Amino acid sequence: MLAGKRVLLIIGGGIAAFKSLDLIRKLREQGAQVTPVLTKAAEEFVTPLSASALSAQKVYRDLFDLTDEAEMGHIELSRAADLVVVAPATADLMAKMAGGLANDLASTLLLATDKKVLIAPAMNVRMWEHPATQRNLATLKADGILFTGPDEGDMACGEHGPGRMSEPLAIVDAVVAALADGPLKGRKLLVTSGPTHEPIDPVRYIANRSSGAQGTALARALSALGAQVTFVTGPADVAPPEGVQVVAVQTADEMLDAVKAALPVDAAVFAAAVADWKVASASDNKIKKTKGGLPQLEFAENPDILATVSQMKQGRPGLVVGFAAETQDVIRNATEKRKRKGCDWIIANDVSPATGIMGGDENAVTMISGTGAESWPRMSKSQVAARIAAQIADALA
Ligand code: CTP
Tell me which residue has its CA closest to atom 12 in ligand 1: 323
Distance 267 CA to ligand 1 centre (A): 18
Q: Where would I find the H helices in the chain? A: 17-29, 48-55, 66-71, 74-79, 91-99, 105-112, 125-129, 131-142, 168-179, 213-224, 252-262, 305-310, 330-341, 381-396
Distance 334 CA to ligand 1 centre (A): 10
- pLDDT given for residue 66 in this prediction: 59
- pLDDT given for residue 180 in this prediction: 84
Low-confidence residues of the chain: pLDDT under 70: 64-69, 71-72
Active site residue 157: yes
Domains of the chain: 6-179 (3.40.50.1950), 188-396 (3.40.50.10300)
Q: Is 271 exposed, middle or buried (0-12, 13-18, 19+ CB in 10 A)?
A: buried
**Cα separation of 246 and 91, whole Å?**
25
pLDDT digits (tens, 9 = 90+) for 326-349: 999 999 999 999 999 999 999 999
- pLDDT given for residue 365 in this prediction: 95
- pLDDT given for residue 144 in this prediction: 87
Nearest CA to 269 among 137, 395, 152, 128?
Answer: 395
Amino acid at site 19: K
Q: What is the pTM of this model?
A: 0.77
- Of 56, 63, 156, 157, which is the active-site residue? 157
Distance 262 CA to ligand 1 centre (A): 20
**Cα separation of 212 and 373, whole Å?**
24
- pLDDT given for residue 181 in this prediction: 81
62 lines ligand 1 (CB under 6 A): no
304 lines ligand 1 (CB under 6 A): yes
317 lines ligand 1 (CB under 6 A): no
- pLDDT given for residue 150 in this prediction: 95
